[in-house]
Structure 1
Amino acid sequence: MASLPNPSVSSAATDSRTRTEALREALATRVVVADGAMGTMLQAQDPTLDDFEGLEGCNEILNITRPDIVRSVHEAYFSVGVDCVETNTFGANHAAMAEYEIADRVHELSEAGARIAREVADAFVADDGRQRWVLGSIGPGTKLPTLGHVGYTTIRDGFQANAEGLLAGGADALIVETTQDLLQTKAALLGARRAMEATGIEVPLLCSMAFETTGTMLLGSEIGAALTALEPLGIDMIGLNCSTGPAEMSEHLRYLTRHSRIPLLCMPNAGLPVLTKDGAHFPLGPEGLADAQENFVRDYGLSLVGGCCGTTPEHLRQVVERVRGLAPVERRPQPEPGAASLYQSVPFRQDTSYLA
């Protein structure tokens, strides 16, 4: 006898598609605000070594052992008005988890992180009816394939497990973030695509790159090389996060707004970190971040804004107040076809030359 469909599963799938459609519409019609830093918020609650199961610093373990701590961070950001939160899964990939000798738990930790965020988001929706979303965080890991630290297929399959867990837990989009190596970035994006094919769940795929104060990615890639290499991979949005504050991101965003065919995002740190006797201090206050993000929206047509290292719920509260009601400025990009190496893009242009 054929098994009857499970009504709860069917309903969950319908709800997921509805949320995804609503997210795509929101990104196309207004400025969507994401959350800020996760790690510092978790550490501020002094988790014990037992909470980490002896794996000190492995924040993703807290998705299993202390979901209450993770939940409280999501609640703090939703309470100040953000539209979406990122999952506590930045390190839930093969490279990072292998260092703790728990690479086999990538899917488990990813699913748990997404499920916590999903439950918090759904609770806020039930309370006031305003839609909230969950962005499944896919961090870069700790190994650079371009330098031979790890094999390409190994990390691609690890990113796929990461993405499959996030989708199973209820993520509304996947964000490949803080990318430093274009080959690693491709592995993450293609792993995410393979996860969507394997699960049959299609969600927006976002890509956010980290540029150093040198003006390039960690391995020397210029912004043009990154756009040329990544845009054809079918991503829904591209932009910047981490490494620097907003002041150092302006030129990169200017390039993207002129040449990118797809919508843009930006999640800067709270300025460049200043090392003190008490550790790193991020000097940019909430008003400064709000000023920068409002200007970025007006000048570069950003569709998604948020914060990264050093940003707090207060930072995001002011960003929400500043960009509420703004619609992404219409951009008229002029794409520049070309080919890219690891370092730079070469436009497909032929200059008229004298031939003897």
Structure 2
Amino acid sequence: MAALPPTPSTDSRARVSALREALATRVVVADGAMGTMLQAQDPTLEDFENLEGCNEILNLTRPDIVRSVHAEYFDAGVDCVETNTFGANLTALGEYDIPERVTELSEAGARIAREVADEFTRSTGQQRWVLGSMGPGTKLPTLGHTTFGAIRDAYQQNAEGLLAGGADALLVETTQDLLQTKASVIAARRAMEATGHSVPLIVSVTVETTGTMLLGSEIGAALTALEPLGIDMIGLNC
């Protein structure tokens, strides 16, 4: 029989409750770029396990580099950092022929961010949080590049790994295709139910210079489509 997922700790529930209150009552500042900060430290091809450009691999091979990026942002005063898991999904990892490592890399990324956040919380007395990054991947289901079911199930693995690693919220970000966005949101909700973790779910869609998402959806249409899914916060990025 499969083992039951770990029950969220009292500390975890308190952090999440504090994050919900902060989001509702004040400006919460998050970090900035991750990939360029990692690349600036010149990781080697060996660090990438010969998968050049797969930043998520660094969660296992060079956690020191990933930690340093989180620490720099916390030093600058941010409230939250995003996990180094933007590409920890079926289509992005599939391009490196390692799609089976979604959960492993997601959990590793969340654990690193959690450790750094907790260190800064203890040393400064200011609560710091971890946003579990769920990136868009490289294939659009609306265009037939992949199937809704395949990416939904893989995004659930992504989300379960992030929650297991200690993420305080799930951030579905940089979405370009509403079908992909819905798959990610449904997956996040399923992961929360499966693990017993209830955390804020944030969605950020990308709007092109044309004023619409990549596939032509206007922001009003995006809001209409996404609002019924029970998202805590919807925003824009890139």
Structure 1 length as normaliser, TM-score? 0.65
How has the CA–CA distance of structure 1 residues 10 and 89 changed in structure 2, closer, same or farther, with 3 Å as cutoff? closer
Please, which of 36, 39, 52 is the counterpart of residue 56 of structure 1?
Answer: 52
Quick check: 1:20 aligned with 2:16? yes
How has the CA–CA distance of structure 1 residues 84 and 220 changed in structure 2, closer, same or farther, with 3 Å as cutoff? same
Quick check: 1:87 aligned with 2:55? no
CA contact (8 A) 2:7 2:196 kept: no
Quick check: 1:134 aligned with 2:130? yes
Quick check: 1:123 aligned with 2:113? no
Question: In structure 2, what is the equivalent of residue 236 of structure 1?
Answer: 232
Cα distance between partner residues in 2 of 1:45 and 1:12: 35
Cα distance between partner residues in 1 of 2:93 and 2:114: 23
> Equivalences for 1:274-313 in 2 at 5 Å?
none
Residues 167-206 of structure 1: per-residue CA shift (max 9 Å, x gap): 0000000000000000000000000001001101110000
Structure 2 spans left out of the alignment, 5+ residues: none
Question: In structure 1, what is the equivalent of residue 204 of structure 2?
Answer: 208
Q: Counterpart amino acid of 1:41?
A: M
CA shift, 1:47, in A, is: 0.3
Q: Counterpart amino acid of 2:132?
A: G
Quick check: 1:143 aligned with 2:139? yes
CA shift, 1:12, in A, is: 6.2
Q: Counterpart amino acid of 2:153?
A: D
Cα distance between partner residues in 2 of 1:61 and 1:128: 30
Quick check: 1:217 aligned with 2:213? yes
Please, which of 157, 177, 185 is the counterpart of residue 161 of structure 1?
Answer: 157
How has the CA–CA distance of structure 1 residues 97 and 10 changed in structure 2, closer, same or farther, with 3 Å as cutoff? closer
Q: Counterpart amino acid of 2:88?
A: A
Cα distance between partner residues in 1 of 2:223 and 2:93: 29
Which SS does the other structure have where 1:33 is aligned?
coil
Which SS does the other structure have where 2:46 is aligned?
coil
Which SS does the other structure have where 1:178 is aligned?
strand
How has the CA–CA distance of structure 1 residues 96 and 10 changed in structure 2, closer, same or farther, with 3 Å as cutoff? closer
Q: Counterpart amino acid of 2:119?
A: A
Question: In structure 2, what is the equivalent of residue 78 of structure 1?
Answer: 74
CA shift, 1:10, in A, is: 8.6
Q: Counterpart amino acid of 2:179?
A: L
How has the CA–CA distance of structure 1 residues 77 and 127 changed in structure 2, closer, same or farther, with 3 Å as cutoff? same
Q: Counterpart amino acid of 1:71?
A: R
Question: In structure 1, what is the equivalent of residue 169 of structure 2?
Answer: 173
CA shift, 1:90, in A, is: 0.2
Cα distance between partner residues in 1 of 2:96 and 2:36: 20
Quick check: 1:41 aligned with 2:37? yes
Which SS does the other structure have where 2:112 is aligned?
helix
CA shift, 1:29, in A, is: 1.0
Cα distance between partner residues in 2 of 1:110 and 1:136: 8
Cα distance between partner residues in 1 of 2:90 and 2:158: 8
Structure 1 spans left out of the alignment, 5+ residues: 1-8, 243-356
Q: Counterpart amino acid of 2:34?
A: M
How has the CA–CA distance of structure 1 residues 92 and 11 changed in structure 2, closer, same or farther, with 3 Å as cutoff? closer
Identity %: 79
After superposition, the CA RMSD in angstroms is 1.2
CA shift, 1:129, in A, is: 1.3
CA shift, 1:98, in A, is: 0.8
Q: Counterpart amino acid of 2:212?
A: T
Cα distance between partner residues in 2 of 1:166 and 1:69: 19
Cα distance between partner residues in 2 of 1:10 and 1:214: 45
Bigger Rg over Cα: 1
Which SS does the other structure have where 2:234 is aligned?
strand
